[in-house]
């Protein structure tokens, strides 16, 4: 009888150990916002595969895998996404600290990379000069609701006309159709659009860029314990040139 009890105990232990391992291995879920309108080459949904692709998913997927974190992408617009992050309904969004209403309520990663805004034109631009001289009396295609620190003084004095659009694609389309004199755009997004949507069009950009911004991931504060490891991972990816390689791949990918 004692031997039988021992065998039963061994069997029970054998059954519970795999269950305990499975419980311990269960992935933590993270809801990451996919903006709409989407922002290639950073993050967008591939039309054929319907997978979320781009620089950001490629760079971050190894870290999330290492940490046993399962990412669920949630589509939303920029304004609602920020509010949802404050409420804790989502876990992370692609967002620079200076663009937020309440930066003290979020946790920000170190920058993945930096980008600048440039003026894009149908005509060659002077290699030297001041922004005030370029935009005075001109119309500039912009994104609706965006705040452009470099241009706001000229918009406020009515020296420059602001022509809003719903997306960066619409900005360039309006520029090419003569609706404005310049489009003011993120350099990486503009390069992606020119390569994928307007490969036969020739556009020129200003010699210098404006509004340098670090592309960061904003997390809900409950993810603060993971930030040291996450930032360390980002630094490694930068030093190894991985981020620059993915950026080049997605900008030029056909």
pLDDT score, position 7:
40
| Chain centre to alpha carbon of residue 105 | 19
164, part of any domain = yes
| Residue whose C-alpha is closest to residue 172's, from 215, 131, 134, 143 | 143
Residue 35 lies in a domain: yes
Same domain flag for 125 and 205: yes
**Pairing mode, if any, of strands 69-76 and 28-35?**
parallel
Q: Are 218 and 93 in contact (CB under 8 A)?
A: yes
For 211-253, the pLDDT digits (tens) are 899 999 999 999 999 999 999 999 999 999 999 999 999 998 7
Distance CA 9, CA 14 (A): 8
* 129 and 173 belong to one structural domain: yes
Q: Using the predicted structure, report yes or no on whether residue 202 has a pLDDT greater than 50.
A: yes
CA torsion, points 121, 123, 128, 133, in degrees to nearest 10? -70
Q: Are residues 120 and 39 in the same domain?
A: no
Is 177 a residue whose pLDDT tops 80?
yes
Residues 67/229, Cβ–Cβ less than 8 Å = yes
Q: Residue 64's pLDDT is what?
A: 97
Same domain, 150 and 206: yes
Q: Let me know whether 48 and 129 are in one domain.
A: no
Same-domain status, 103 and 147: no
> For residue 25, what pLDDT is reported?
58
Angle between helix axes 242-252 and 55-66 (nearest 10 degrees) is 140
pLDDT grade for 10, boundaries at 50, 70 and 90: very low
Please tell me whether residues 129 and 205 are part of one structural domain.
yes
CB neighbours of 75 closer than 8 A, spacing ≥ 6? Answer: 33, 34, 35, 36
Nearest to 218 by CA among 72, 28, 30: 30
Q: Which domain holds residue 157?
A: 116-212
pTM: 0.83
**What digits encode the pLDDT tens for the residues 76-105?**
998 999 999 999 999 999 998 988 999 999
């Amino acid at each position: 009888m004692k031997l039988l009890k021992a065998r039963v105990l061994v069997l029970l232990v054998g059954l519970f150990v795999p269950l305990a391992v499975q419980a311990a291995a269960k992935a933590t879920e993270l809801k990451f916002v996919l903006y709409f309108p989407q922002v290639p080459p950073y993050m967008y949904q591939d039309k054929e595969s319907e997978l979320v692709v781009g620089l950001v998913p490629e760079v971050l997927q190894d870290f999330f895998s290492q940490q046993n974190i399962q990412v669920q992408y949630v589509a939303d617009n920029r304004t609602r996404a920020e509010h949802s992050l404050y409420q804790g309904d989502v876990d992370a969004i692609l967002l620079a600290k200076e663009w937020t209403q309440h930066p003290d309520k979020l946790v920000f990663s170190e920058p993945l990379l930096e980008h600048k805004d440039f003026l894009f034109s149908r005509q060659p631009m002077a290699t030297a000069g001041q922004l005030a001289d370029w935009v005075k009396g001109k119309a500039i295609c912009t994104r609706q609701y965006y705040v452009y620190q470099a241009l706001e003084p000229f918009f406020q004095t009515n020296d420059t006309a602001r022509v809003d659009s719903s997306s960066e694609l619409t900005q360039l389309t309006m520029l090419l159709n003569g609706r404005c004199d310049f489009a003011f755009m993120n350099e990486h997004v503009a390069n992606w659009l020119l390569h994928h949507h307007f490969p036969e069009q020739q556009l020129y950009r200003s010699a210098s860029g404006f509004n340098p911004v670090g592309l960061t991931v904003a997390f809900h504060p409950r993810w603060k314990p993971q930030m040291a490891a996450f930032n360390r991972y980002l630094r490694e990816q930068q030093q190894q040139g991985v981020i620059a390689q993915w950026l080049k791949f997605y900008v030029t990918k056909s």
